[in-house]
Structure 1
Amino acid sequence: MKYSVEQIMTAAYPVMPVLAVNRVEDAVPLAEALKAGGLTVLEVTLRTEAAMAVIEAMKTVEGVIVGAGTVTNETQLIELQRIGADFAISPGATPRLLEAGKAVDFPFLPAIASVSEMMQGLEMGYSSFKFFPAEASGGVAALKSFAGPFPNVSFCPTGGISIANFKDYLALDNVKCVGGSWVVPADALNQQDWSRIEQLAREACL
């Protein structure tokens, strides 16, 4: 099934887990734990050698939407299309990457950190963005200021989001979901503590 950016962001509410997975064998139990906790849209960052294989493995879990984060070039987008990823997210947005994101047949969510970057994305036909790094780029206050002149733009803020502040972001009308790594702590993943990860996912949905 093909999804739109809007469908993915809506399905990701409240939190899209940002995952750096080193072992392919962790992919399926991790996806199942997050799904059991209520989180079904998963961003696997391309920061590990196993990332592409992890995405392919997670795609076998029924009821989850699996995409890639830390996408920085056209080659990665083409490979993600080949393996059937559901979406891609970048940490930034160059004109070339914005063009490439329009050429693939799955949703691409570019990241912005300023109004000028957002306007460049709007000129290219994008209306939804990752706001990154969110806390370092002004956080909730910045997103509030974006809403006035750009009422139809929606965001998934990521970077510095935690259990302590994610609900402050979700209270904003222009925020559809947040991205965060706190749901899957590195130690829990390393120890394959799926019950703890499921509980953290469940707590994020409360």
Structure 2
Amino acid sequence: MMPQAQSNEARRIAGLAPIIPVLVVEDAAKAAPLAEALIKGGLPALEVTLRTEAALDVIREMASVDGGMVGAGTLLTPWCVEQAKAAGATFGVSPGATPKLIEACISNELPLLPGAATATEVMALYEQGYDMLKFFPADANGGAAALKAIGAPIPQVAFCPTGGVSPANAKDYLALPNVLCAGGSWVAPKAAVDKGDWAEITRLASDAAKLR
């Protein structure tokens, strides 16, 4: 799957809901009910970050839940891409992009949402065929104002800002013409996941689904 086809699929996924939950899950036993709660609330695209030992098992469990699409976040190496695809991830998200990572996503047919933080990085990825990117870390790199400024000379590229996105500023990002969705972790707070408070997570997801 070449970069333009990857971006086409990433745009489709980004259009499913205004927020993609960014999930750090330490217990695979909680994966399926967590996915069910988020999907029930209206957030079907889920990003499981590869930041815990359980992450690949979490992807496997979530991939079996009807109605959702599970992606692997924090892709850093070709090995991460291969393992994520084998676990059932249907898309990938990376904080940045390297030639080897991009080649691995092409070889493994895994649609990639590559990260970029500067106009130069955006242009480099656009040259390769990517026109749907992750803006990361969004808040630390100037927030919605910076993304608006990047969009002025490069309107062809759309974004999913992640990193510091919250209920307080999500609408600022989502109001931009070059933002299709945003990534946020607040919809699955650790305390609620640990307690198995799926009703609370569904409520938070439902509120997030109404942001646009």
**Which of 75, 78, 92 is the aligned partner of 2:79?**
75
Partner of 2:14: 9
- TM (normalized to structure 2)? 0.93
Match of 2:156 among 152, 157, 162: 152
> Counterparts of 2:165 and 2:35 in 1: how far apart (Å)?
21
Q: What RMSD in Å do the two structures reach over aligned CA positions? A: 1.3
Q: For 1:120 and 1:98, how far apart are their aligned partners in 2?
A: 12
| 1:118 to 2:125 alignment | no
CA distance in 1, matches of 2:45, 2:104: 23
Contact 1:169 1:178 in 2 (8 A): yes
Counterpart amino acid of residue 62 in structure 2:
M
Identical residues among aligned pairs (%):
50
**Paired position in structure 2 for 1:23:** 27
1:154-193 mapped onto 2 (5 Å cutoff):
154-193=158-197
Query: Post-superposition shift, 1:99?
Result: 2.7
User: What residue in structure 1 maps to residue 53 of structure 2?
Assistant: 49
Alpha-carbon shift at residue 63 of structure 1 (Å): 0.5
What's the offset of the Cα at 1:113? Answer: 0.6
- Structure 1 segments unaligned to the other structure (5+ residues): none
Counterpart of 1:147 in structure 2: which amino acid? G
- The alignment's TM-score, normalised by the length of structure 1, stands at 0.95
Q: Is the 8 A contact 1:98 1:124 kept in 2?
A: no
Greater Cα offset, 64-73 or 120-129:
120-129
Q: Structure 2 counterpart of 1:117, which letter?
A: E
Aligned length: 204
Per the TM alignment, residue 160 of structure 1 is displaced from its structure 2 partner at its CA by: 0.4
1:79-94 equivalence runs, <5 A:
79-94=83-98
Segments of structure 2 that go 5 or more residues without pairing to the other structure are 1-5
* Partners of 1:155 and 1:174 within 8 A in 2: yes
- Map Cα deviations across residues 113-142 of structure 1 (whole Å, 9 max, x no partner): 101111111122211110000011011111
Give the SS at the match of 1:57: helix
Runs of 4 or more above 2 Å deviation: 98-104
Give, in whole Å, the separation in 2 of the partners of 1:22 and 1:148: 40
Q: Is 1:62 aligned with 2:77?
A: no
Offset at residue 181 of structure 1 (A):
0.3
Secondary structure at the residue paired with 2:15? Answer: helix
Deviation by residue 1:80-111 (Cα, 9 ceiling, x = unmatched): 22222110000111232223232221211110
SS in 2 for 1:179: strand
Q: How far apart, CA to CA, are the structure 2 residues paired with 1:138 and 1:104?
A: 34
Q: CA deviation at 1:40?
A: 0.5
Distance between the aligned counterparts of 2:209 and 2:9, measured in 1?
A: 23
